[in-house]
Structure 1
Amino acid sequence: EEEREIAGCRVVVTKPLVKPLGVTFLLTAANIPLSKYDSIRDALISINHVVVGYCINALCPLWGNHRIKAEEVHDMFKELNKDYRVFEYNIVGHSIGGKIALMVAALHDEDKALNSVVALDPVDQSPVEFTKEKGKGDNISLQHVGADITMTITESGFFVDRDHNGRAIKSFNPNVNLVLHRNAGHMAYCDEGGELSWKAVMGAGNPDRNEFAKKDAIKIIKGKAQSKVDGKHFKRGAKKLVADTKAAAKELSDDAKTSAQGMGTGMMLKGMLGM
């Protein structure tokens, strides 16, 4: 694990012990330390992903914070691309980090390098950008994106407005997947059961449901990242097999032509010599 500056951003990069099979960005809830997401990080390391942990400072900058951070994630991937020769990536984000992950998919995936987004209980607030009421401006849309998008929702925490939570985002973007973690707390995805000093204002949730939500989220995260990697490797392997087969067939064809030309030349010489 090392702290690095990538594309002007301070992040923590954790690498697997073997050759990486993918890169996943881990975006925290607003001002929540990365240490609260060690379980998610370790799950991604277990499938040989490089994990780029980005603690979301919701106060800096004060203006355009979420849009700037979404652009930064894509810029960081382009720089990391050179280090690991991995041309696709995934994002896991929690709360505001989940919203920022969705913004990367919607606004910064022209190169189609983003495989999947898992947005854990995303919060579209301060400002609202996906779930504006009619007549209050255009919403950012996810309906055109190529990445596989999954959101979870707990519907807890009084500060999370139901008009701007994951269910509301889904209502504007029916193509995305939504997983309900009923009766879990907004901080259930964090380690130590979300036992933070401000858990009371965020909704603690039922302990059993918190544990289930966290385990289910990790299962989803690993599945999305792994299926993409395995699928890409299969496709690449199939393409290589086809290419190798075509090359071998061409070589045989060339050999046959050469042999036939040799036989034809021999017969012509025999005819000229009257043999």
Structure 2
Amino acid sequence: MSAATTGPGEQREVAGCHVVITKPPKSPSGITFLLTASNMPLEKYDSIRDALLSIGNVVVGFYINSLRPLRRNHRVKAEHVREMFLILKNEFRMSEYSIVGHSVGGKIALMVAALHDADQVLNSVIALDPIDQSPVEFTNKELGNNISLKGSKANITVTVTESGPVSMEHNGRAIHKFNQNVELILHRHAGHMAYCDEGGKLSWKAAMGTGNPEKSAKAKREAIELVKGRAKSKVGGKQLRGVKKLVSETKAAAKDFSDDVKDSGKKVSSGLMMKGMLGL
């Protein structure tokens, strides 16, 4: 195993991929795949990993090597994430999973939601300053050539720093432009590497620019809170979809009931209307 997958946790091969699986101290309540930026050591994401562990998630750290395979790299890795969950779900007794990805890892996380969630078991996706380049898949100017997130039922959040190596035509804001169902969080003037930890053998922040130090520190704090909130809340997945459907159906029924009352010339208070609907 390379230095890209060092640190606490169990190093394993799952679905042909080298990953580091870290378990929470108590019985796990969820499972989240943590996808790195291109060729970024997993140790740079210890803070995010620890945040996930603190809320009872099993963390599957997946180092994104952008050089292997050379063809269809991002699509192959998106397929691998799905395959790994299918293998691990029985071991950890999980029916749903979440993904947190940074940079290219964020793009791959979005691709899982767009292409590999027909059974709707993907609970949430957080793409931290995703890069949709090499190749462009979400933000082609011609709509017919884009992968779309509009059919996904997962709770999807994208952040954007608008700094570093990310082209504005292919960053998180651009992805949101084509996919309005995705939540967008702006971390203006933060560095692209703001979500990574300091230290270690490689100084990627120095190589790619830090952005405004205060803005970068704030972006990292907000990202950690976001990660904890999304991964912890089951209401972010199937339950939330059920609640939204129930609310929608209730509103529609209330409107129909109101229309019926108006047609019959009766005047009924909103409170009596709801009691009638509930059989009270």
- Please report the TM-score for the alignment, with normalisation by the length of structure 1: 0.81
Runs (5+) with no aligned partner, structure 1: 236-275
| Residue number in structure 2 paired with 1:121 | 129
For 1:68 and 1:230, locate their aligned partners in 2 and report how far apart those are by CA, in whole Å.
27
**Where has structure 1 moved over 6 Å in runs of 4 or more?**
229-235
For 2:167 and 2:159, locate their aligned partners in 1 and report how far apart those are by CA, in whole Å.
15
1:132 Cα deviation (Å)? 0.6
For 1:173 and 1:19, locate their aligned partners in 2 and report how far apart those are by CA, in whole Å.
36
The answer to whether the 8 A contact 2:10-2:22 is kept is yes
Q: 1:40 aligns with which of 29, 38, 48?
A: 48
State the one-letter code of the partner of 1:98: G
1:228 Cα deviation (Å)? 1.6
Q: 2:167 aligns with which of 156, 161, 169?
A: 161
Q: Compared with structure 1, are the counterparts of its residues 186 and 83 closer, same or farther at alpha carbon in structure 2 (3 Å cutoff)? A: same
Percent identity over the alignment is: 65
Matched residue count: 234
| Residue number in structure 2 paired with 1:258 | none
The answer to whether the 8 A contact 2:82-2:116 is kept is yes
Q: Compared with structure 1, are the counterparts of its residues 51 and 198 closer, same or farther at alpha carbon in structure 2 (3 Å cutoff)? A: closer
1:199 Cα deviation (Å)? 3.0
Q: Compared with structure 1, are the counterparts of its residues 234 and 178 closer, same or farther at alpha carbon in structure 2 (3 Å cutoff)? A: closer
For 2:123 and 2:36, locate their aligned partners in 1 and report how far apart those are by CA, in whole Å.
19
Do residues 199 (structure 1) and 205 (structure 2) align?
yes
The answer to whether the 8 A contact 1:187-1:194 is kept is no
| Residue number in structure 2 paired with 1:172 | 178
RMSD between aligned alpha carbons? 2.2
| Residue number in structure 1 paired with 2:193 | 187
For 2:236 and 2:92, locate their aligned partners in 1 and report how far apart those are by CA, in whole Å.
17
1:208 Cα deviation (Å)? 1.0
For 2:218 and 2:200, locate their aligned partners in 1 and report how far apart those are by CA, in whole Å.
13
Do residues 140 (structure 1) and 147 (structure 2) align?
yes
For 1:201 and 1:211, locate their aligned partners in 2 and report how far apart those are by CA, in whole Å.
18
1:230 Cα deviation (Å)? 8.8
| Residue number in structure 1 paired with 2:230 | 224
For 2:179 and 2:199, locate their aligned partners in 1 and report how far apart those are by CA, in whole Å.
30
| Residue number in structure 2 paired with 1:259 | none
For 1:141 and 1:66, locate their aligned partners in 2 and report how far apart those are by CA, in whole Å.
15
Report SS of the residue matched to 1:68: helix
The answer to whether the 8 A contact 1:22-1:229 is kept is no
For 1:179 and 1:60, locate their aligned partners in 2 and report how far apart those are by CA, in whole Å.
31
1:134 Cα deviation (Å)? 2.0
**Aligned counterparts, 1:24-39, within 5 A:** 24-39=32-47
For 1:232 and 1:127, locate their aligned partners in 2 and report how far apart those are by CA, in whole Å.
32
1:41-96, Cα deviation, whole Å (9 max, x unpaired): 00000001000000000000011000000000000000001101111000000000
1:231 Cα deviation (Å)? 7.9
Report SS of the residue matched to 1:141: coil
Q: Compared with structure 1, are the counterparts of its residues 78 and 46 closer, same or farther at alpha carbon in structure 2 (3 Å cutoff)? A: same
Do residues 213 (structure 1) and 181 (structure 2) align?
no
For 1:183 and 1:193, locate their aligned partners in 2 and report how far apart those are by CA, in whole Å.
22
Q: Compared with structure 1, are the counterparts of its residues 67 and 183 closer, same or farther at alpha carbon in structure 2 (3 Å cutoff)? A: same
Q: Which moved more, 1:187-196 or 1:205-214?
A: 187-196
The answer to whether the 8 A contact 1:193-1:210 is kept is no
